[in-house]
Amino acid sequence: MLLTGFAPFDGAAINPSWEVARALHGRQIAGVSVIAAALPVAFELALPSLQDLIAQHRPQLVVSLGLAAGRAAISLERVAINLIDARIADNLGAQPVDEPVLQDAPAAYFATLPIKAMRRAIEIEGVPAEISYTAGTFVCNQVMFAALHFSHALTPAVRAGLIHLPWSTGLGEPALDLAVMVHAIEQALTVALHTQSDLLEAGGTTH
């Protein structure tokens, strides 16, 4: 499987999404090798990098890790939208507003990972987890949307999605211990490999 994190951005020294992905690089999960890669936090470069990685490794799963400020739980994203609306500049200084991720593509894609089963696996480990309905409008959403778009075109189609790791108050500081998140993500990936049909249980919100 291909597991991506992101390079540091906005002045941070590290990006925990890459630290978690890097910790799982080379592991065997349910008999499948994990290939981890760091994507640039740059709209111009992230998608070509992702596309090259998918073409090179031909994974059976594509899972991206990102960071979500202000969240206290690991967030399994359900929806990626075809929109870039950058609140801050990327690492190349680009700050596109109201642009599509990909021209002539659908308005949105749903994750094709069994996110509710993955959430349960994380919660069994005593780690807070949630289903999220917004992957934002920055590079994380761009990568999730593109991963789903690219994976739909493969034969057979590859399942893909994005998991946001929670930030605490400091930029680049995880709200959960890195080792805890590594273990939780490993459990979630194990479930993703074993589960074809997701759990039929509530995961919605009231706002």
> Which residues are known catalytic residues?
77, 140
Q: Can you tell me the distance from the alpha carbon of 154 to that of 47, in angstroms, rounded to the nearest whole number?
A: 16
CA 153 to chain CA centroid, Å, is: 19
Q: Can you tell me the distance from the alpha carbon of 111 to that of 200, in angstroms, rounded to the nearest whole number?
A: 15
Amino acid at 123: E
| Inter-residue contact 142 to 48 (CB < 8 Å) | no
Q: Which residue has the tokens 């202000």?
A: 70
170 closest CA partner among 7, 65, 13: 13
Q: Which residues pair with 79 in a beta bridge?
A: 110
